[in-house]
Amino acid sequence: MSLEKSNSSLQRNELKKFTTARVGLSTSGVSLSTEEVLAFRLAHARAVDAVWVEWNATSIQEKLKSRGAKSTIIESTATSRLQYVQNPLLGCELNGQSIEIVKAIKNENAISIILADGLSPKAVEEQGCELITALLDELRSIGNQINPIFICRNGRVAIGDQLGEITKCKIAIVIIGERPGLTTHQSLGMYITANPSLQSTNADRNCISNIHQEGLSIAQASNECKMLIQKMLKHNLSGYRLNQLPD
């Protein structure tokens, strides 16, 4: 191996200590090496599988129950994963039966937590219960009542707006499987909205994303969420307007 190639290899290895991104890929002639091509194909296959996997909401409910957390299962108007992927708006609305379930839990000034499969049900299955457990521990110190956890099949972030409109909750937290990428297919995101309603937009939310083993830890994410909510309750707002205020 030439000195130039040796130095290049050392630089790649050093860079990879700081990121899981695809940097410094090894080559064979003018093409990527077989190892890199196979790794890419595996990552792509995992990302695709993460989107289409069927989510076992009942299993999630049992896990939460074993951790002392009450929950109820609701569904969006998307009746299948195919509908969910092809028509995103269907994942933003509750179906008729779920609306009646949510109406029965109307609780003003409470905090609502919605656990939705999103675009990576696998991420929610593997980390969702652990994140909710840590989050509940953090939120109990705030003092606001917390509604039973809503487990939403085929839900998107905006499902929290309709749920907030019905329950009149003070804060809605949507924990959702994020769009899988080629670096990780098991990432969670948290979207927090103060005074959620059907008039809420993405600009009214605060997001904590990239929650996975090689990203933001569950402990960090739950603590950051608590601090955000404390600030929201203090100023009675969220989203970009909250970001403009001093800490």
**Distance between CA atoms of residues 62 and 100, nearest Å:** 22
Tokens of 18: 């700081």
Report the sign of the C-alpha dihedral through residues 247, 205, 50, 33, in that order.
negative
Q: How many Cβ atoms are within 10 Å of 34's Cβ, its own excluded? A: 10
140 to 123, 146, 235: CA distances (angstroms): 25, 8, 20
**Distance between CA atoms of residues 189 and 208, nearest Å:** 6
**Distance between CA atoms of residues 116 and 87, nearest Å:** 16
List strand residue ranges (DSSP E) for 178-227, in order. Answer: 188-194, 205-211
156 to 159, 161, 200, 213: CA distances (angstroms): 6, 10, 14, 23
Domain annotation for the chain: domains and CATH numbers: 52-243 (3.40.50.11240)
- Say which amino acid occupies 195: N
pLDDT score recorded for residue 38? 86
pLDDT score recorded for residue 6? 46
What pLDDT, in 10s, does the model give residues 209-220?
999 988 899 999
Q: Looking at residue 121, what DSSP letter applies?
A: H
Q: What percent of the chain has pLDDT over 90?
A: 66
Segment 208-211 long-range contacts (CB within 8 Å, at least 24 positions apart): 209/178, 210/178, 211/127, 211/131, 211/187
pLDDT score recorded for residue 55? 84
pLDDT score recorded for residue 3? 40
Residues of the chain with pLDDT under 50: 1-4, 6-7
**Distance between CA atoms of residues 23 and 118, nearest Å:** 28
